[in-house]
Amino acid sequence: MPFHLDDLDLDSIPDPYHSVLRRMAAAVEDRAVTPAVAIKVIREHLVPLLSDVDSALVSIQGQPSWDKIRTLYPALVFASESQQKQLLAAIGRLIELFVRHSDRPPREIDFPPFIEVFSFNRVCGYLGVPIAKPLLETNDGTRDLYRFCKYCWLPARRKDVCAFHTTSFDEASAARSQPACAHISLKQAQRLRTAFEQHVLALTTRDEMEFHQSGFDLPALLPPSGLSHWLDVRRPHLASLVRKQADTSANSLRILSAVLYGEELGAKVVEAIGGAVYLWTPITTRAEGWLAAWAAKSPRGGARRRGIKLLEV
C-alpha cells in the first residue's frame, strides 16, 4: 500500500516537518511501500537532515526488511535522549509515521524493553554475528539472562525483579560471594534506578555511535581474548571491580562472572554462555551503567556500614 498521508493528524506534527512528509508521500505516489522502497525514501528525504555522524543511526545492513526498519525509530529516540538532540527524536518520529501509515491498519512498532540488548542485536547484525539469547537452567526453570531485573543486571524471576531486589530478601545474607548489586538495599536500588537507566542509555548510545564512526572496526562486543583490556577501555568501573577481586592466577572470565552473579551462579552462567563470550556484552553494559550510577551517588552512613566498600570502584 502507499503512504497514507491523509491518515495522519498533521496538527500534532511541527510545521517544519509537514513538507518533509508530503515529499515522502509524493516520492511513493501510488506504489506499494515495500521495505526496499521505504529505506530508499528514508535515505533520500530524512538522512540528509542529519549530520554525517548521526546519519549512521539510520543505516541498515543487508537486504531491507520491516524488522530492520522498525529498529530505526527506537534507536533514534534513545540516542536523542542520551545526546539531548531533538532532531534525532523528530527524525525517528517521521520514520515511525512513515512505517506505520504505509499500511492499513497501521503497522505496529514496539519499543524494545532493554536498549542495551536492542543495540547489541543491531551490532551483531552489522557484523554478521549470530544473535542468540543466553538461557540458564535453574531449579526454578529456564531463565533468559537478557530478561533483566529492573534494578540491576541479574535475570528477573517474577514481577521484573531478581531474587535480591524483592521485599522478602534478607539483606544479611548478602555476603561477599553474592553479586555486586546484592550489596545494597532495595530502597537504595529503587533510588538508584533512574540514574542507572540514564547511564545505561548513555553508554549504549556511545558504544553504537563509536562503532559506526569506526566503520564497524571498533571492538564493541566482548572479545574471545583480551578481556581485561576490553573491560579497561569499554567498562572501566566493572574492570576496577574485577581487578579488586582477582589474583594473579585467576581466570578473568571466572572473576567477571563471580562479580556479576556470585561464585555459584556465575560458574553456571559461564557454562551456559560457553565460547560465545560476546553474549556477555549487554550484561556488562548494564553492570557498567549500574556501577557508574552507584559511584556517582557517593553513598554515606548506613550504606557504608553494611559493607558497601566492596562497591568502591
- C-beta separation of 224 from 274 below 8 A: no
Residues written for the chain: 313
pLDDT for 255 beyond 70: yes
Residue 113 to residue 74: CA distance in whole angstroms: 11
Which phi-psi region, left, alpha or beta, contains residue 307 (left: φ > 0; alpha: ψ -120 to 50)?
Answer: left
Residue 17 to residue 45: CA distance in whole angstroms: 11
Average pLDDT over residues 208-230: 88
pLDDT attached to residue 282: 97
Angle at 195 between CA 189 and CA 201, to 5 degrees: 120
Residue 169 to residue 224: CA distance in whole angstroms: 35
Average pLDDT over residues 277-283: 97
- pLDDT band, very low/low/confident/very high, at 149 (cuts 50, 70, 90): very high
Residue 146 to residue 53: CA distance in whole angstroms: 29
pLDDT attached to residue 239: 94
- C-beta separation of 69 from 35 below 8 A: yes
> What's the distance, CA 36 to chain centroid?
27
pLDDT for 173 beyond 80: no
Q: Which pTM does this prediction carry?
A: 0.74
pLDDT attached to residue 172: 42
| Amino acid at the residue 115 | I
User: Bigger pLDDT: 159 or 253?
Assistant: 253
Model confidence pLDDT, tens digit, residues 16-31: 889 999 999 999 988 8
The residue to which cell 592466577 is assigned: 249
pLDDT for 213 beyond 90: no
Other Cβ atoms within 10 Å of 287 Cβ, number: 25
User: Bigger pLDDT: 69 or 291?
Assistant: 291
- pLDDT band, very low/low/confident/very high, at 79 (cuts 50, 70, 90): confident
pLDDT attached to residue 302: 44
pLDDT for 304 beyond 70: no
Question: Which stretch of 25-39, 58-72, 163-177, 194-208 has the lowest confidence by average pLDDT?
Answer: 163-177
Residue 253 to residue 220: CA distance in whole angstroms: 17
> What's the distance, CA 55 to chain centroid?
19
- C-beta separation of 290 from 197 below 8 A: no
Average pLDDT over residues 250-275: 90
pLDDT attached to residue 41: 95
- C-beta separation of 163 from 169 below 8 A: yes
Residue 58 to residue 139: CA distance in whole angstroms: 43
Residue 40 to residue 2: CA distance in whole angstroms: 14
Model confidence pLDDT, tens digit, residues 89-139: 889 889 988 988 998 888 877 767 888 998 898 889 888 899 888 999 887
Model confidence pLDDT, tens digit, residues 26-62: 999 888 999 999 999 999 999 999 988 888 888 887 8
Q: Which residues pair with 141 in a beta bridge?
A: 138
pLDDT attached to residue 193: 92
pLDDT for 169 beyond 60: no
What is the torsional sign of CA 105, 90, 81, 216? positive
Across all residues in the chain, what is the average pLDDT? 84
User: Bigger pLDDT: 233 or 310?
Assistant: 233
